[in-house]
A and B are shown apart, each in its own frame.
Chain A
Amino acid sequence: MATLARQEKVPTTAPVRRRREPGASPWAWAWIGPAVILLLAFFIYPLINTFILSFQNADSTRFVGLKNYITIFTSPTMLGVLKNNLLWLVLGTTLTVGLGLIVAVLVDKVKIESIIKSALFIPMAISMVSAGVIWRFVYIYEPPNQPQIGLLNAILALFHIPPQVWLINQNINNFALIVVYTWMWTGFCMVILSAALKGIPDDVVEAAKIDGANRWVMFWQITIPMIGPTLGVVTTTMIINIMKIFDVVYVMTGGNYNTDVVAQEFWNQLFSFQNYGMASALAVILTIAVIPVMYINIRRMRAEERTR
């Protein structure tokens, strides 16, 4: 916020403003008033409140200093939660952005492009609750020697591999959840990247072709640099999204069996343990982790403003 206020003094629009803007300034507050009041109540007040609560004990009756934060960064359970979030961050971002990019590039020259895109994009329109039911049917486990009605275990049975308890086996359950996230969000990445690909000027592509560049060289030397900014937007969006990841975990495992992540643990602390101090500390950590990414996004937006 401080940075924002400082930047405020730098005129972002062209300093020469010859004509008068339509409208008078006092009325502006009437226009933005309702929105600002709601946002103060729903974002700013809770942020301040949470920040204060995070330095207090479970039922917010006395201050405990940094105790909650120290617990988060030292207790094995909490470190496990942070470790899971990190796994999510690395794998989830790589898979969604990577797969989105691959499909966007491949689908660019295919005749049935719009059908393929819709297929990847549909999960965006499905609620996490329904997606949870959908994926239950993929992951269902039946004891060995019984017919497997879950798709994945049925496929394993074809190769005479014993069925896996996908959501409970701690070696694979985090990956199983990340797969669900990837299923939901790859279409999002793909659509945005695909739009950026279409924006690469034809003459650049033609020039590279004349120079004898093959597809591989074209991809690394032309495509990637040309869509760099969009790739940045998609990646930061996924990073923010995954830092806050909650719904997939909540619906599929509830954070049990070592699949807990920060936002889920926040929920548990809040509603299962009624530990407001710990829950708030987790929320503050989440917010602080998001700030650098937010800063990058706002800087990029300001740069865009200047070129408008």
Chain B
Amino acid sequence: MSTLEEQAVAAMQPKKTTGAPRTTENYFVRSLSNALITAIVVVIALLWSVPTFGLFVSSFRPPQLISTTGWWQGLIPPWNFTITNYMQVITAQGMGQAFLNSLIISIPGTLFPLLLGSFAAFAFAWIKFPGRDFFFFGIVAMLVIPGQIALVPLLQIFTAIGFTGQYWAVWIAHTAFGLPFAVFLLRNFFAALPRDLLESAYVDGASNFRSFWTIVIPLSVPALASLAIFQFMWVWNDLLIALIFLGGNPQRAPMTLNIADLVGTYGNNYQVLTAAAFLSMALPLIVFFSMQRYFVRGILAGSVKG
């Protein structure tokens, strides 16, 4: 697993071309075919970016233009861009509150599974107990169980104990649904830590608790970071859990829920939709670009997640 991670980090860097071309003819053919390959991948990358770019441009166009001309026509000077769509969304559509709600949901929704996951992963990696493998593989198996299956019974329990519409309900749900992946990823990382380090700490009389906080956690920052990013994106972008457990309480709705509602009520009110959608993408995109390396690492280590 660790080699795959190293490869992944290397994969994000352009590979150095080694060796000089042997003949000029060879060189000519090679650079021609390289140019062709570059052209192909650039076209693919453009195809992939155009939809998002279109939304970005649209979100800055005046409402009457969005609904009468294509966004690409907005690129032709004279430009007519405005930030009123954003102002309208933030002030009138409750997006400011929704942004806050998203944060309130996402931060504990990221920290709880990280904490509980590292506890369990530590035991699976370093404490011997009967049924250890059974429980570990049992938890890994949960990775592929369709999440929807849990919704009805949970909704019944949560309603019975008056949990629905509360932040707590969403935090617990995200913690539970994030745990299999967290345990899987962290256990593999913890198990790969050098044995001598933990053994010498143990000989020195350190308790499990102490070696966990002073040795395992500080050494596992890269894995914890990639997991945190993953979980954060997942919670931030989630619609389903918010819809089910918060649906009845618009005061606590996160951005995704708010936008889904806007799609329903303002289906053709494009200026609201574009700006709202782009606002909700802003934070994940910032996280993504600043921590791409960790994000990729997490994906590689967790490619078993369904």
- A interface majority secondary structure: helix
Contact string against A for B residues 175-186, beta-carbon threshold 8 Å, 1 for contact and 0 otherwise: 111011001000
- Also in contact, A294 and B144, with CB within 8 A (given A31-B122, A151-B54, A279-B152): yes
Contact string against B for A residues 195-220, beta-carbon threshold 8 Å, 1 for contact and 0 otherwise: 11111001000000000000000000
The chain A residue sitting closest to B258, CB to CB, is A129
Query: A234 at the A/B interface (Cβ < 8 Å)?
Result: yes
| Interchain CB contact under 8 A, B144 and A240 | yes
User: What residues of chain B lie closer than 8 Å to A42, measured between beta carbons?
Assistant: 150, 154, 173, 176-177
User: What residues of chain B lie closer than 8 Å to A186, measured between beta carbons?
Assistant: 48
In-complex Cβ contact of A110 among B37, B55, B180, B259 (8 A): B37
In-complex Cβ contact of A283 among B127, B149, B285 (8 A): B149
Q: How far is the CA of A135 from the CA of B48 in the complex (A)?
A: 12
A218-245 with Cβ < 8 A to chain B: 230, 233-234, 237, 240-241, 243-244
Q: How far is the CA of A113 from the CA of B13 in the complex (A)?
A: 8
Q: How far is the CA of A134 from the CA of B71 in the complex (A)?
A: 12
For residue B288, give the distance in angstroms from its CB to the closest CB of chain A. Answer: 4
- Also in contact, A192 and B299, with CB within 8 A (given A22-B211, A127-B284, A294-B144): yes
Query: A28 at the A/B interface (Cβ < 8 Å)?
Result: yes
| Interchain CB contact under 8 A, B202 and A22 | yes
A279-308 with Cβ < 8 A to chain B: 279-280, 283, 286-287, 290, 293-294, 297-298, 301-302, 304, 308
Contact string against B for A residues 89-120, beta-carbon threshold 8 Å, 1 for contact and 0 otherwise: 00000000001000100111111111111111
In-complex Cβ contact of B69 among A147, A244, A280, A298 (8 A): A147
Q: How far is the CA of A233 from the CA of B4 in the complex (A)?
A: 13
User: What residues of chain B lie closer than 8 Å to A128, measured between beta carbons?
Assistant: 237, 239
| Interchain CB contact under 8 A, A198 and B15 | yes
The chain A residue sitting closest to B179, CB to CB, is A35
Query: B217 at the A/B interface (Cβ < 8 Å)?
Result: no
Q: How far is the CA of A230 from the CA of B10 in the complex (A)?
A: 17
| Interchain CB contact under 8 A, B306 and A290 | yes
Query: B228 at the A/B interface (Cβ < 8 Å)?
Result: no
* Number of chain A interface residues as a range: 35 or more
* Number of chain B interface residues as a range: 35 or more
Query: A256 at the A/B interface (Cβ < 8 Å)?
Result: no
A1-58 with Cβ < 8 A to chain B: 1, 4-5, 8, 12, 19, 21-29, 31-32, 34-36, 38-39, 41-43, 45-47, 49-50, 53
Query: B45 at the A/B interface (Cβ < 8 Å)?
Result: yes
- Also in contact, A298 and B141, with CB within 8 A (given A134-B52, A134-B277): yes
- Also in contact, A125 and B288, with CB within 8 A (given A25-B129, A116-B41, A233-B304): yes
B252-306 with Cβ < 8 A to chain A: 256, 259-260, 263, 270, 273-274, 276-278, 280-281, 284-285, 287-289, 292, 295-296, 299-300, 303-306
In-complex Cβ contact of A199 among B3, B123, B132 (8 A): B3
Q: How far is the CA of A169 from the CA of B37 in the complex (A)?
A: 36
- Also in contact, A119 and B49, with CB within 8 A (given A134-B55, A137-B71, A276-B152): yes
| Interchain CB contact under 8 A, B292 and A118 | yes
Query: A255 at the A/B interface (Cβ < 8 Å)?
Result: no
| Interchain CB contact under 8 A, B51 and A137 | yes
Query: B117 at the A/B interface (Cβ < 8 Å)?
Result: yes
In-complex Cβ contact of B149 among A112, A183, A287 (8 A): A287
Contact string against A for B residues 129-143, beta-carbon threshold 8 Å, 1 for contact and 0 otherwise: 111111101111111
User: What residues of chain A lie closer than 8 Å to B163, measured between beta carbons?
Assistant: none
| Interchain CB contact under 8 A, B41 and A107 | yes
Query: B220 at the A/B interface (Cβ < 8 Å)?
Result: no
User: What residues of chain B lie closer than 8 Å to A280, measured between beta carbons?
Assistant: 152
| Interchain CB contact under 8 A, A147 and B68 | yes
Q: How far is the CA of A99 from the CA of B148 in the complex (A)?
A: 29
For residue B231, give the distance in angstroms from its CB to the closest CB of chain A. Answer: 13
User: What residues of chain B lie closer than 8 Å to A279, measured between beta carbons?
Assistant: 152
* Residues of chain B whose beta carbon lies under 8 Å from any beta carbon of chain A: 1, 3-4, 7-8, 10-15, 17-18, 34, 37-38, 40-42, 44-46, 48-52, 54-55, 58, 66-72, 116-117, 119-120, 122-124, 126-135, 137-154, 157, 172-173, 175-177, 179-180, 183, 191-192, 198-199, 201-202, 208, 211, 233, 236-240, 256, 259-260, 263, 270, 273-274, 276-278, 280-281, 284-285, 287-289, 292, 295-296, 299-300, 303-306
* Residues of chain A whose beta carbon lies under 8 Å from any beta carbon of chain B: 1, 4-5, 8, 12, 19, 21-29, 31-32, 34-36, 38-39, 41-43, 45-47, 49-50, 53, 99, 103, 106-130, 132-138, 147-151, 154, 183, 186-188, 191-192, 194-199, 202, 230, 233-234, 237, 240-241, 243-244, 246-247, 251, 263, 266-267, 270, 276, 279-280, 283, 286-287, 290, 293-294, 297-298, 301-302, 304, 308
20 A-B contacts, Cβ less than 8 Å apart? A12-B133, A24-B127, A26-B129, A28-B127, A29-B129, A31-B120, A43-B176, A113-B14, A122-B48, A122-B285, A127-B236, A134-B51, A137-B54, A246-B148, A251-B260, A283-B146, A286-B149, A297-B144, A297-B304, A298-B141
